Amino acid sequence: MKFVDEYRDPKTARKLVDAIAKLSSKPWNIMEVCGGQTHSIIKHGIDQLLPEQIRLIHGPGCPVCVTPLKYIDKALAIAAQHNVIFCSFGDMLRVPGSRQDLLGLKAQGADIRIVYSPLDALKLARRHPGREVVFFGVGFETTAPTTALAAYQARQLKLTNFSQLICHVRVPPAMEALLSSADHAVQGFLGAGHVCSIMGYHEYLPLAEQYKIPIVITGFEPVDILQGLYLCIKQLEENRHVVENQYQRIVTQAGNQPAQQLLRQVFDVVEQDWRGLGSIAASGLALKEEYSPWNAEQRYAVDAIDTVEPDACRSGEVLQGLLKPVNCPEFGTSCTPEHPLGATMVSSEGACAAYYRYRNHD
């Protein structure tokens, strides 16, 4: 496969593993922020190939996992309403809410549909003018521009039967929140390549400077991740702390300007709750005032829902890199992808699901 094979080449990977071993003179803790990178690391056994003193900490970069329970409950309350077609990405259907999940509600007769883009939901609204179509928009800066585009087009078209329940979050403020916490052990970051393909990496420069921490923007293939780790460990060994871009074939410092312009046009930056991390200043995106008619939270008044956090699930610790999934007492016993207790076991980018899929049979 052209352009991919070289990033999966075992000989190149082996050379990088050897170079990392030669370079590493002491223990280093490095967090990969993105759930896609976590899956690649576990799938390819990268953590097991590294020297023992290099510890990888899995970060909060799974969009489904960091969506707070109250938004799952709001989604359930809206989806249960008469005449609503509720649209969501597939993984969201299986995330447990306080009392049930969207899949269970669908089985009871609610019209809940899986879509691959908010623009598909917009099409549904145009096709069914007599129904209310609601899209559940979650995720990082990678998916937010398409949600913004759907809102923009709905406003242009004066489409009154379409609205969005939005829980989009921004990565740099979450990285800063982690670095500000007293008990964090992160010494270097692999930055999420997909997020930076949209946002560039200019927002990471002050973070690296202020917290004296190397940040290497990194892709998702095994060779990408090993190169990112090599660059990060090299900085740590040389006591440097700058932003480097391993993912140059996709990411530029300025990022995708039209996408950023669209985000600024449609969303305000707001304080936002993250599951497992709590409330983080300037870490969320909310529809601007002029988009209120397309804001499902305003249309359906779902603020007063009483959420009940499950006792057994420790995904909050997993998302902060404080607990390995396999060390959760429920892992692989009462919590499996078929019967998940938490979002980190549901999502295709969740750390618990990655360990279950690739390590459960070690």
Q: Which residues bind ligand SF4 (CB under 6 A)?
A: 312-315, 318, 325, 328, 330-331, 335, 340-342, 344-345, 352
Distance in angstroms (rounded) separating the CA atoms of residues 137 and 64? 10
| Of 263 and 319, CB closest to ligand SF4 | 319
| Of 115 and 313, CB closest to ligand SF4 | 313
| Of 149 and 345, CB closest to ligand SF4 | 345
| Of 299 and 324, CB closest to ligand SF4 | 324
CB of 357 to ligand SF4, least distance (A): 12
CB of 345 to ligand SF4, least distance (A): 4
Q: What three-state secondary structure class fits 280?
A: strand
Q: Where are the beta strands (DSSP E) in the chain?
A: 28-34, 54-61, 84-88, 111-114, 132-139, 162-169, 188-192, 215-218, 243-245, 267-274, 278-287
Distance in angstroms (rounded) separating the CA atoms of residues 135 and 12? 43
Q: What radius of gyration, in Å, describes the C-alpha atoms of the chain?
A: 21
CB of 72 to ligand SF4, least distance (A): 14
First to last CA, the chain: 30
CB of 336 to ligand SF4, least distance (A): 8
Distances (CA, A) of 330 to 334, 336, 346, 354: 5, 9, 14, 15
| Of 266 and 323, CB closest to ligand SF4 | 323
- Please report how the helices 35-43 and 222-237 are oriented relative to each other, as an axis angle in degrees rounded to 10: 100
| Of 41 and 217, CB closest to ligand SF4 | 41
CB of 95 to ligand SF4, least distance (A): 10
Distances (CA, A) of 227 to 42, 45, 190, 231, 295: 16, 15, 10, 6, 42
CB of 96 to ligand SF4, least distance (A): 9
